[in-house]
Amino acid sequence: MSRPTARVVHLVSRPTGAPTAGNFAFLDETVPPLAPGEALVENLFQSVDPYMREEMDEGGWALHAPLEGRTLGRVVESRTPALPVGTLVHHRRAWRTLSVITPAESFVLPDFAGVPLSAHLSVLGGTGLSAWVGLTRIARLRADETIFISAAAGGVGTAAGQLARLLGAGRIIGSTGSAAKAAHLTERLGFDAAFDYHDAPIADRLREAAPDGLHVYLDNVGGDHLEAAIDTLRDHGRIAWCGAVAQYNNLQSPPPAPRNLYDVVGKSLRLEGFLVREHLDARPGLYDFLVPHLRSGAVVPDETVVPGFERVVDAFLGMLRGANTGKMIVRLAE
């Protein structure tokens, strides 16, 4: 019996500095017959994420081998009763149009009527969960506090800004890479102030936006952003360190900032890093909190959806350069 062909992307070389399309190759693979306990999934949406840049370095993804990533798809063939044909699933066998999965390495998506499927990769996915964990478990944001969010117009940032508002934050400040994105934050997503970090020293812009200082910083960028936030935080402020996207192209070299790390002691700050994969038990709490707001329209899944599997590499490279507003997602099939 003839088997379907999957379109697949492999990593074929490792970048020095910024990655290029030449680091990847597209190929075709015949899908093998399913073994008992397996299901074949047609992939519908895939997430492209900053951590994937780290995976491109030595010690990360293998060359010329299957890659991983957060993916949503529909079961089209099954040899397991746990995943009947038609089931919508989340799995990580990504960068391919068709994936063979088992129940153990996937989960069946909850059906939240009225909520778009792609939200399971944005506000309801690992991205939104990172924002939720950063705000509620790590920073423990309280009502009326002033929070600064970097990479604020990206996936984690747009989720964090909207969640912070619902959690009662007093003032929400975001930094991003263009004036248009800054306007998007204040005009569409309820940020009180936003600035383009290219415009001036970040610490100056932050002091203008938060004259009374910050209580909380959700750090997605690291480097000069972290230094500016340490400078602007009030005594006993908290930093939830989520990521350092400014550094991922050169992780082997020490970053030039923050030069004021010892002020963490002088100001009695709390700086805590976290990995969302250690907080998956927080997901039901996020669903309970957010789904009613998604249904009412109070929260909008902010997404840039790039159509077509052939553009998955472009979407990934574009996200690293800031081509996205909200979560960068690739739509692989209708």
Residues that bind ligand NAP (CB under 6 A): 49-51, 126-127, 130, 151, 153-157, 176-178, 181, 220-221, 242-246, 274-276, 319-320, 322, 324, 327-328
Query: Would you say 61 or 274 has its CB closer to ligand NAP?
Result: 274
* Single-letter amino acid code for the residue at 117: L
Query: Would you say 6 or 209 has its CB closer to ligand NAP?
Result: 209
Contact 72, 109 (CB under 8 A): yes
Closest contact distance (angstroms) between CB of 70 and ligand NAP is: 10
Closest contact distance (angstroms) between CB of 213 and ligand NAP is: 22
Closest contact distance (angstroms) between CB of 86 and ligand NAP is: 30
CA distance 89 to 77: 13
Burial class for 95, CB neighbours closer than 10 Å (0-12, 13-18, 19+): buried
Query: Would you say 118 or 324 has its CB closer to ligand NAP?
Result: 324
**303 forms bridges with which residues in the sheet?**
327
Query: Would you say 126 or 301 has its CB closer to ligand NAP?
Result: 126
- What is residue 44's three-state secondary structure? strand
Closest contact distance (angstroms) between CB of 253 and ligand NAP is: 14
Query: Would you say 50 or 258 has its CB closer to ligand NAP?
Result: 50
Cα 144 to chain centroid distance, Å, stands at 26
State in Å, rounded, how far the first CA of the chain is from the last one.
Answer: 26
Closest contact distance (angstroms) between CB of 113 and ligand NAP is: 27
Among 104, 78, 81, 80, smallest CA distance to 91 is for: 104
The answer to whether the bond into 116 is cis (omega within 30° of 0) is no
Query: Would you say 38 or 70 has its CB closer to ligand NAP?
Result: 70
Closest contact distance (angstroms) between CB of 133 and ligand NAP is: 8
- What is residue 306's three-state secondary structure? strand
